Chains A and B, each alone.
Chain A
């Protein structure tokens, strides 16, 4: 290990709060000791990472309050040192921490609120893609439907919730008192995507539409999607429902491309 490498490893260890000999490499002056000088960097390291999380999880902050949110930030900064060149991605594991670790996992709505906020961030700068049109759909040859599959907007996300977390998030967004948390009987799925005006949109999905969209985003074909819908509708109703969902997705700009053999 070169002297420079040794120096840098000791410096980063100091920032991470690990044992480090870096102070012996730093000149002290009459007004500031080596440690006081190093602590300017140590303070800035934590403050900068905390600020990044605060920016990404404003509603979670509101829900938890300053003190508990700050404890969460300390935990996160300790557990997930930043590995990416951009702070944009630093807080991406927040929902995972909240889902996995006590005491946060005792209140599952926390992880779900975090996943909503992360979904907005991901939607904001997701890759651009063109939007397929109803005209293109109408002009598909009839034989195309047997193998028809779809490419979706890279911003599209399906968010499953066991609790009324979206209602909590919405109340926090509207600066209203959030409702008491309630567990749903079944998982509720919300759809989020970015529209052509670059605005992030969201809406809840019915159970059949969630099932159909889940099949479609995996790349399965339209006939497979229809088979899935037979679990929700009778045989006569299914094609109309399937086409209805598909038209909605096209109108909302969710689909970027039709594929067929």
Chain B
């Protein structure tokens, strides 16, 4: 594994349902991940709650609307707002998805997949470079759950993912559940994906639950993490070492203590797979400075 990867420990996605509990009880969680767009607002309670919680916990920022793969021009107003929020939150890092969301003046509000080929890599590397230059820090990109494969795809997703990271200098947010979902939907072995991803570029893991729709799995984030995804997580830890890990829950959200108990499963698996030394949290702010 890489020696200089920061390890934040085990975190959760910050959700409005849990604001009160987190502010009042200050539960033990190593860090929170926020959805950037929820706080790209002029003022009021969202930012007031964010500031209160940030005072007590490390944070990372996770976006859903950068549309890094779109063929529309980059949305500079969005990037300005993102940069303003980054300056406010001072996150360890910021991330978005390897997808497109917006084209022809229309936002799908969905993470739409890309054809995996050389032309798309060139397009995205150029755009990630623009974003990183503008923000002044490297970003993380996350693999999707997807339901279609384009005829124009010429390589497996992990190779696409690796090439973009290598050429743009960005890092990877590896969503273990998304690997499981896409493996089912596109009939590949999830372990092949994990073994195909370059070790040094992975900065964060996501874990989540999903739902079945016939034979297809939909990435709904409305269930607990299932056993096969926990198994994959253990395999990923063996390959990548200690990687900052969090659970995303976006629907059917349980009380905070229940979600915290689920995170303890991740902690237990990591304790079984890794040495105590590997699990020491390295809390230095990272990824500062130019990309």
Binary flags per residue of B100-128, CB closer than 8 Å to A gives 1, else 0 = 11111111111010110001100100000
Assess A9 versus B45: contact at CB under 8 Å? Given A27-B148, A41-B147: no
- Select one of A24, A34, A52, A81 contacting B106, CB under 8 A: A81
6 cross-chain CB contacts under 8 A:
A7-B115, A11-B112, A49-B109, A87-B109, A125-B43, A126-B42
Please indicate the chain A residues that have their CB under 8 angstroms from the CB of B109 in the complex. 45, 48-49, 52, 82, 87, 90
Question: Is the Cβ of A8 less than 8 Å from the Cβ of B103?
Answer: yes
> With the chains together, A83 CA to B193 CA distance in Å?
35
> With the chains together, A88 CA to B48 CA distance in Å?
17
- Select one of B42, B65, B108 contacting A12, CB under 8 A: B108
A11 nearest CB neighbor, chain B only? B112
Question: Is the Cβ of B149 less than 8 Å from the Cβ of A26?
Answer: yes
- Select one of A15, A29, A49, A128 contacting B44, CB under 8 A: A128
> With the chains together, A37 CA to B42 CA distance in Å?
38
A residues 101-135 touching B (CB-CB < 8 Å): 123-128
Binary flags per residue of A122-166, CB closer than 8 Å to B gives 1, else 0 = 011111100000000000000000000000001100000000000
Question: Is the Cβ of B148 less than 8 Å from the Cβ of A125?
Answer: no
> With the chains together, A81 CA to B171 CA distance in Å?
33
Assess A32 versus B215: contact at CB under 8 Å? Given A11-B112, A12-B108, A44-B110: yes
Question: Is the Cβ of B119 less than 8 Å from the Cβ of A27?
Answer: no
Question: Is the Cβ of A82 less than 8 Å from the Cβ of B150?
Answer: no
9-residue interface stretch from B70-78, B87-95, B194-202: B70-78
The answer to whether the Cβ of A2 comes within 8 Å of any Cβ in the partner chain is yes
Question: Is the Cβ of A82 less than 8 Å from the Cβ of B42?
Answer: no
> With the chains together, A44 CA to B215 CA distance in Å?
17
- In this complex, the member of A7, A29, A83 whose beta carbon has the largest number of chain B beta carbons within 10 angstroms is A7
Please indicate the chain A residues that have their CB under 8 angstroms from the CB of B106 in the complex. 12, 15-16, 81-83
Binary flags per residue of A1-34, CB closer than 8 Å to B gives 1, else 0 = 0111101110110011000000011110101101
- In this complex, the member of A4, A24, A88, A125 whose beta carbon has the largest number of chain B beta carbons within 10 angstroms is A4
Binary flags per residue of A189-202, CB closer than 8 Å to B gives 1, else 0 = 00000100010000
B213 nearest CB neighbor, chain A only? A40
The answer to whether the Cβ of B216 comes within 8 Å of any Cβ in the partner chain is yes
Tally of A-B Cβ pairs under 8 angstroms: 127
Binary flags per residue of B187-228, CB closer than 8 Å to A gives 1, else 0 = 100000000000000000000000001111010000000000
Question: Is the Cβ of A4 less than 8 Å from the Cβ of B43?
Answer: no
Please indicate the chain B residues that have their CB under 8 angstroms from the CB of A40 in the complex. 147, 213, 216, 218
Please indicate the chain A residues that have their CB under 8 angstroms from the CB of B105 in the complex. 81, 83
Question: Is the Cβ of A125 less than 8 Å from the Cβ of B103?
Answer: no
Question: Is the Cβ of A34 less than 8 Å from the Cβ of B115?
Answer: no
Question: Is the Cβ of B123 less than 8 Å from the Cβ of A126?
Answer: no
Question: Is the Cβ of B37 less than 8 Å from the Cβ of A85?
Answer: yes
Please indicate the chain B residues that have their CB under 8 angstroms from the CB of A45 in the complex. 108-110
Question: Is the Cβ of A4 less than 8 Å from the Cβ of B42?
Answer: no
Please indicate the chain B residues that have their CB under 8 angstroms from the CB of A9 in the complex. 103-104
> With the chains together, A32 CA to B152 CA distance in Å?
18
Please indicate the chain A residues that have their CB under 8 angstroms from the CB of B216 in the complex. 31-32, 40
> With the chains together, A32 CA to B215 CA distance in Å?
9
The answer to whether the Cβ of A72 comes within 8 Å of any Cβ in the partner chain is no
Number of interface residues of A (CB under 8 A): 47
Please indicate the chain B residues that have their CB under 8 angstroms from the CB of A8 in the complex. 70-71, 100, 103-104, 112
The answer to whether the Cβ of A217 comes within 8 Å of any Cβ in the partner chain is no
> With the chains together, A25 CA to B214 CA distance in Å?
23
B107 nearest CB neighbor, chain A only? A82
Please indicate the chain A residues that have their CB under 8 angstroms from the CB of B107 in the complex. 81-85
Question: Is the Cβ of A29 less than 8 Å from the Cβ of B151?
Answer: no
> With the chains together, A41 CA to B108 CA distance in Å?
9
Question: Is the Cβ of B150 less than 8 Å from the Cβ of A154?
Answer: no
B153 nearest CB neighbor, chain A only? A27
Nearest CB in chain B: distance from A179 CB, A: 31
Question: Is the Cβ of B41 less than 8 Å from the Cβ of A125?
Answer: yes
The answer to whether the Cβ of B40 comes within 8 Å of any Cβ in the partner chain is yes
Please indicate the chain B residues that have their CB under 8 angstroms from the CB of A27 in the complex. 148-151
Nearest CB in chain A: distance from B145 CB, A: 10
The answer to whether the Cβ of A38 comes within 8 Å of any Cβ in the partner chain is yes
The answer to whether the Cβ of A86 comes within 8 Å of any Cβ in the partner chain is yes
The answer to whether the Cβ of B46 comes within 8 Å of any Cβ in the partner chain is yes
Question: Is the Cβ of A5 less than 8 Å from the Cβ of B71?
Answer: yes
> With the chains together, A198 CA to B41 CA distance in Å?
14
Please give me the 5 A-B residue pairs with the lowest Cβ-Cβ distance, nearest first. Answer: A85-B65, A128-B43, A127-B42, A5-B71, A125-B41
Please indicate the chain B residues that have their CB under 8 angstroms from the CB of A81 in the complex. 105-107
Please indicate the chain A residues that have their CB under 8 angstroms from the CB of B78 in the complex. 85
Please indicate the chain B residues that have their CB under 8 angstroms from the CB of A34 in the complex. 148
> With the chains together, A15 CA to B71 CA distance in Å?
17
Assess A86 versus B65: contact at CB under 8 Å? Given A3-B119, A45-B108: yes
